[in-house]
Amino acid sequence: MLPSLRNVLWLPVCVVLAGCSEEAPQNRPAALVKTELVRLQPRQTVIRLTGDVQARVSTELSFRVSGRVIERLVDVGAHVKAGDVLARIDPTEQRADLVGAQAAVAAAEAQLRLAKATFERQKSLMASGFTTRVAFDQAQEGLRTAEGSLDTAKAQLGIATDALSYTELRASAAGIITARNIEVGQVAQSAQSAYTLAEDNARDAVFDVNESIFLTPLEGSTVKLTMVSDPSISAIARPREISPTVDQKSGAVRVKLSIEDPPAAMTLGSIVTGEGRGRPVDKIVLPWSALNANLTGPAVWVVDPKTRAVALKNVVIESYETNSIVVGGGLTAGERVVVDGGKLLRPAQIVTYDGENS
């Protein structure tokens, strides 16, 4: 009797459990999510970089002769004109050479006068028949030698004069001194850089950029420059030079832009921002919240329009931005993607969303 009573007591419980197992899947509500139809959007990339204004021509100025620096007249930041004296070295040696060259010229002139007189006398005697041909030829040769010696002495005098003028270092053009490498009392060697002169007129905006920036073709050939200290001051620049090598320390490529009609306020050393726009292209852009992942990489939940079941679909991310992602592949226009509420979804789960019948 006990076994039959036990079966009678368990029968209602089994019936209730069987009913629950059959009705649970049917009564589970569909997950409410926010979706978005995939569509191509015209997109234009804006590139902004920070650089500085530099002179297009930068010249290293140096003395042509060696000597001890006795005077330094300008410092870094000074604006100079062409021909201005920048520094001087001790001219004692060059002055002594000049005096010696002047004395050599005076001696050569005296020798030339004597040789001329001797030649004229031998010429007169030769016409009268009172000298020999050998003596006449010797006088003529002496005259030519004296003329050559005078030319040599004058050339040496010119060299000595130039050497004395080289004791003064002068600016080769108008511009701004950007570097100084000498001090008073220092022995400067010839051809040793003393000053660096950034010449006026043409100016460049110089930027150090990552090489990946060249993968984005620009719309047009100009870049807008804006001063960081005063955004109201702007100018137009065009690419002039791109370094063929990558800097080993920074991994950047140096780009120089020629500034067209630079404003007076855009002086050398000014910090500027360069803005360029890429060519418009059609891209798929989704909110950050749409991004998920599976074992093979980034993915998004795609809703089947017939069954409303979701499935993870792998995508290729072209770029990550502040509030969105740019999809480079894996989706086609017209697909419906879950953009919010997909964190707790599972494959084949039925979802509901606003505008479901649209």
Q: Are 280 and 43 in contact (CB under 8 A)?
A: yes
Q: Are 303 and 268 in contact (CB under 8 A)?
A: no
* 339-348 residue pLDDT tens: 999 888 999 9
Tell me which H or E stretch contains 119.
helix 92-128
CATH code linked to domain 49-57+201-280: 2.40.30.170
CATH topology for the 91-166 domain: Helix Hairpins (1.10.287)
How remote is the C-alpha of 246 from its chain's centroid?
11
The residue among 197, 205, 204 whose CA lies nearest residue 79 is 197
* pLDDT value of residue 26: 44
CA distance 188 to 195: 12
The residue among 320, 247, 236, 332 whose CA lies nearest residue 282 is 332
Ordered per-residue pLDDT tens for the chain, 358 residues: 434 434 433 344 333 334 444 443 445 578 899 999 999 988 888 888 999 999 999 999 999 999 999 999 999 989 999 999 999 999 999 999 999 999 999 999 999 999 999 999 998 988 888 888 999 899 999 999 999 999 999 999 999 999 999 999 999 999 999 999 999 999 999 889 999 999 988 899 999 998 878 777 777 788 999 999 999 999 999 999 999 888 888 889 999 999 998 898 888 889 999 998 888 888 999 999 999 999 899 999 999 999 999 999 999 998 888 899 999 999 999 999 999 998 889 999 999 987 664 4
* pTM higher than the cut 0.75: no
Q: Are 69 and 202 in contact (CB under 8 A)?
A: no
Q: Are 58 and 171 in contact (CB under 8 A)?
A: no
Burial 141-150 (b: 16+ CB within 10 A, else e): ebbeebeebb
CA distance 64 to 71: 16
- Cβ neighbours, 10 Å, residue 12: 9
SS3 (DSSP) at 184? coil
Tell me which H or E stretch contains 157.
helix 133-165
* pLDDT value of residue 256: 94
Instruction: Kindly report the length of the chain.
Output: 358
Pairing of strands 351-353, 31-37: parallel
Residue spans of the domains in the chain: they are 31-43+283-353, 49-57+201-280, 62-89+168-200, 91-166
Please identify, in words, the CATH class of the domain defined by 31-43+283-353: mainly beta
CATH architecture of the domain covering 62-89+168-200:
Beta Barrel (2.40)
